[in-house]
Amino acid sequence: MTKFDRDQFAADCLQANTETDPVGAIREILASALSDPADVLRGIGEPTEAGMDVLLRSDELTIFAATWTPRMCLLPHNHDMWAMIGIYTGREDNIFWHETDDGLKSLGANCLFEGDIATLGKNAVHSVTNPLLRFTGGIHIYGGEFFDTPRHQWDPETLEKEPTNGDMVRALFARENERYAELKANL
């Protein structure tokens, strides 16, 4: 029996966003949900491809379940708003970056396992890797309208800054799904 209800989760987060400390209140809701990652997995569904399953999209909050194919990498990027990531299956490795006058410099790293949560500030820049040979899934919560906010990404080889957009992100996910399909076909 699944207890995780995606609509109720989104409604609870939207309500928590009106609290004095919205990030803290939303983190509590996410932590409560992730106290049983398998329950969240049952509620969201087993990942079968890279993508974003949107639970809520508003001017105040965007919530989606992001799934990464095995060994998928996302280049350095920013969100231009606070973000929270909670892993419900798999693992997500993050490299954090800092923009300097000399370009992008690595700042640190962390590994998120099932049940772990990371909170990123408005100015955070990170790259993401799923190091596993299976899918990773995480609930991503953003303090604003994620899809219409201008953001940046950095070329993974040169670390040159460039604007990003939905078409570029959709193309990345499509390439990763094609790569995964080829990998499965060759097993």
Domain edges within the chain: 6-185
- What mean pLDDT, rounded, does the chain reach? 95
Task: Tell me whether strands 91-100 and 51-57 are parallel, antiparallel or unpaired.
Answer: unpaired
Per-residue pLDDT for 2 more than 80? Answer: no
Which residue type is seen at 29?
A: I
- Out of 77-86, 116-125, 164-173, least confident range: 164-173
Per residue in 43-69, pLDDT (tens digit) is 999 999 999 999 999 999 999 999 999
- Write down the architecture of domain 6-185 according to CATH: Sandwich (2.60)
Alpha-carbon span 143 to 79, nearest angstrom: 10
Report CA-CA distances (Å) from 61 to 4, 32, 34, 39.
19, 19, 19, 23
The pTM of the full predicted model, rounded to 2 decimals, is: 0.95
